[in-house]
Structure formats: structure tokens, C-alpha cells
């Protein structure tokens, strides 16, 4: 039962973060928010008994993707500057 509560909290945070990722004016915040969505998703995977997936999502989705986004953001900023 406590799992369910955790899951609900996770779900709500993920959704809020997702909306934020898309609608926040600041790109840095958006990128971080997207990373948080991924991170919380990996916790959710753990709850769903999928540790392999959770590891992958954490490493790739919230780790590497975010890094790449920041690089791209940097690049675009420079191009526009």
C-alpha cells in the first residue's frame, strides 16, 4: 500500500515536471525538469520490479541525455550570440 502512495507521488511529480519541462521559459530549468522526469521514472521502474530498466534509465535518460542537452543548449546560445 505504501508503494501505491509513493507511486502516486512519483506520478504527480513526474507530470508536473513534464509540463514544466515543456512550458517553462528558462531552458535550463526545462532540461533539468526533463532529467527529473527520467529520474523519477527510474524509481517507478524499481517499484515495478524492473531494476535493469531502472539502472539504464537513470544512467542514460537522466544522465547522458541531460548532458547532451546542455551541450546543445550551449551550442545554440553561442550560435545565436
Partner 1 sequence: MKYFSLEYISIITGFLLVVIGIWGILTQKNIIKMIIGFTIFDTGLHVIMVSIAYVRGKTAPILDDAVGIKDVADKIVDPVPQALVLTAIVIGLGVTANVSLCN
Partner 2 sequence: MLKNSFILAILIAFSLIFVSLFISYEGNDELSNLGKYYAENGVQEVGAQNLVTSIVVTYRGIDTLGEVVILFLTAAIIGFFLKLSKKDSKNGKRVEKLREASEILKTGSQALVPLIFMFGMYIFINGHLTPGGGFQGGAVIATGFVLMMIANPVQKVKHGVLAFVESISGFSFVVIGILGIVLAGGFLDNHILKLGTFGEILSAGAIPIIYSFIGLKVGAELSGIVGSFNEIQAEK
Q: Which does 67 bind (CB under 5 to 8 A by kind): partner 2, partner 1, none?
A: partner 2
- Counting contacts by CB under 8 A, is residue 36 touching partner 1? no
- Residue 5 belongs to what H/E stretch? helix 2-23
38 sits near partner 1 (criterion: CB under 8 A): yes
Q: Is 48 in the site for partner 2 (CB under 8 A)?
A: no
The SS3 call for residue 12 is helix
Sign of torsion, CA 62 65 71 72? Answer: negative
Interaction of residue 22 with partner 1, rule CB under 8 A: yes
Residues making contact with partner 1 (CB under 8 A) = 3-4, 7-8, 10-11, 14-15, 18-19, 21-22, 27, 30-31, 34, 37-38, 41, 44-45, 47-53, 56-57, 60-61, 64-65, 68-69, 72-73, 76
Amino acid at each position: 500500500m505504501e508503494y501505491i502512495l509513493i507511486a502516486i507521488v512519483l506520478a504527480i511529480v513526474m507530470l508536473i515536471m513534464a509540463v514544466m519541462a515543456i512550458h517553462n521559459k528558462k531552458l535550463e530549468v526545462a532540461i533539468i525538469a526533463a532529467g527529473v522526469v527520467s529520474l523519477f521514472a527510474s524509481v517507478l521502474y524499481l517499484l515495478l520490479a524492473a531494476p535493469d530498466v531502472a539502472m539504464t534509465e537513470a544512467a542514460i535518460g537522466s544522465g547522458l541525455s541531460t548532458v547532451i542537452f546542455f551541450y546543445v543548449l550551449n551550442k545554440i546560445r553561442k550560435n545565436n550570440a
